[in-house]
Amino acid sequence: MTAAASKAKDRAPLRLAGATRGEIVRALAEIGAPERELNMRASQFWHWIYHRGAREFSAMRNIARPLLDKLSERCTLARPEIVTEQVSADGTRKWLLRMPPAHPLDRGAEIECVYIPESDRGTLCVSSQVGCTLNCAFCHTGTMALVRNLTAAEIVGQVLVARDRLGDFPGGVAPADGLVPSGEGARAVSNVVFMGMGEPLYNLDAVRDAIAILTDGDGLSLSKRRITVSTSGVVPEMARLGAECGTMLAVSLHATNNALRDELVPLNRKYPIDTLLQACRDYPGASNARRITFEYVMLKRVNDSAADAKALVRLLKGLPAKINLIPFNPWPGSSFECSDWETIERFSEIVFNAGYASPVRTPRGRDILAACGQLKSESEKLRARARLMLEESLAVGQD
């Protein structure tokens, strides 16, 4: 085999599941599809990949066989691989997903993705990064050693896997355990929240491209109002999120004064509460009909007094806000405790009396460590470090 042929053989396949329209056009051009057909063909593939959920090129019945054959030599429709699936007694599912390796020595990143069925919706909580650089004091994800951004395809891949698994594409079959919403017109995945691992605003380009794919009317067709991006307060990126994505915003507030927020959410030292709330006031599209959600984790004797509740109400005055009280979810080694139920009720009553709906988010999937802030994939520190070193040495080798 010539060097060039062996290089071509070793080339990683182009991944079309999760690809943007531009990437699909480029793949078609690369296999020699006629230039004048590129856009039309890309639309056909788009429909098969995102509307029909095709997992094999052979299923694409209205596309000529020779084109499909060429495409399948160079491209793949593979999704992230499900390493484990855990199903909670309440129907919450947590998947550990392995992302396809980017090069022959890459083992591929592992991330977690959680599905939460409710009577009127099914919410998929997706990750935007492997790990998180921000180290919030109460969050398990922040303790992960390895951090890297996910690509747009890897973010969209989480939705594709969930829809495959839940039988949510045309002709799909729901799992037999009866824990997935069904019935006329029911969509298993109706909502997506960026509340898994990672800080979405530190990976905004990929998050934006993923949202464009998820909301495309010829494909997955999710409504922008049913997608929520949660940030710990990356102030300089918030306007761009509103302008370029137009999705709902959630802000992880958790404290009403800078001294405490500096401790709980260290990013506060860079972007303190007043700058964060100003960015919320300026958030494009925020209105009483499209309120910003403020997340507030209930930590025993830390931020849960009646005075804290009153301070919260004062702080948010005039903002189109919803307040989401999250009972703290403990994880092995965490030093916080969840507030008592009576304390949460008293807190929520003060907030409610001030005119805010303040649903207390019922902890879901606690038995499988799938609740907020409990996510941490199995990648161990050593393995992560070894992989980083390998990747670095490969990068050097390519110079």
In the set 24, 25, 116, 195, which binds ligand SAH (CB under 6 A)? 195
User: Quick one: 270 or 314, whose CB is closer to ligand SF4?
Assistant: 270
Q: Which residues of 92-131 are buried (b: 16+ CB within 10 A; e: fewer)?
A: bbbbbbbbbeeeeeeeebbbbbbbbbeeeebbbbbbbbbb
C-beta of residue 338 within 8 angstroms of C-beta of residue 329: yes
Q: Which stretch binds ligand SAH (CB under 6 A): 161-169, 314-322, 323-331, 348-356?
A: 323-331
Element spanning 153, H or E: helix 152-165
Q: Which stretch binds ligand SF4 (CB under 6 A): 76-84, 111-119, 132-140, 325-333?
A: 132-140
Q: Which stretch binds ligand SAH (CB under 6 A): 49-57, 98-106, 114-122, 325-333?
A: 325-333
Q: Which does 295 bind (CB under 5 to 8 A by kind): ligand SAH, ligand SF4, none?
A: ligand SAH
Closest CA to 67 of 6, 19, 24: 24
Catalytic residue among 110, 112, 199, 237: 112
Question: Total residues contacting ligand SF4 (rule CB under 6 A)?
Answer: 12
In the set 25, 99, 134, 280, which binds ligand SF4 (CB under 6 A)? 134
In the set 92, 141, 203, 247, which binds ligand SF4 (CB under 6 A)? 141
CA dist 358 and 313 (Å) reads 11
CA dist 85 and 114 (Å) reads 10
297 binding ligand SAH? (CB under 6 A): yes
In the set 110, 154, 168, 199, which binds ligand SAH (CB under 6 A)? 199
Confirm whether 132 is a catalytic residue: no
**Residues 156-195 vs ligand SF4: string with x where CB under 6 A?**
----------------------------------------
Q: Which does 135 bind (CB under 5 to 8 A by kind): ligand SAH, ligand SF4, none?
A: ligand SF4
Describe the crossing of helices 273-281 and 235-245 by its angle, rounded to 10 degrees: 20
User: Quick one: 53 or 373, whose CB is closer to ligand SAH?
Assistant: 373
C-beta of residue 61 within 8 angstroms of C-beta of residue 171: no
CA dist 343 and 328 (Å) reads 13
Sheet of strand 122-125: strand arrangement: 81-87, 93-98, 110-117, 122-125, 191-194, 227-231, 248-252, 292-298, 321-327
- Which amino acid appears at position 363 of this protein? P
DSSP string, 295-340: EEEEBTTTS-SHHHHHHHHHHTTTS-EEEEEEE----TT----BPP
| Residues 248-277 contacting ligand SAH, CB under 6 A | 252
In the set 295, 304, 312, 384, which binds ligand SAH (CB under 6 A)? 295
In the set 136, 180, 360, 371, which binds ligand SF4 (CB under 6 A)? 136
| 26 token code pair | 């480029």
Residue 69, CA atoms < 13 Å, CB-side half-sphere: 3
User: Quick one: 20 or 128, whose CB is closer to ligand SAH?
Assistant: 128
C-beta of residue 267 within 8 angstroms of C-beta of residue 134: yes
C-beta of residue 131 within 8 angstroms of C-beta of residue 57: no
Confirm whether 30 is a catalytic residue: no
In the set 80, 100, 142, 327, which binds ligand SF4 (CB under 6 A)? 142
**Residues 137-156 vs ligand SAH: string with x where CB under 6 A?**
-xx-----------------
Query: What residues line the site for ligand SF4 (CB under 6 A)?
Result: 132, 134-136, 139, 141-142, 198-199, 232, 252, 373
| Catalytic site positions | 112, 372
Binding site for ligand SAH (CB under 6 A): 132, 136, 138-139, 195, 199, 230-232, 252, 295, 297, 326, 328-329, 372-374
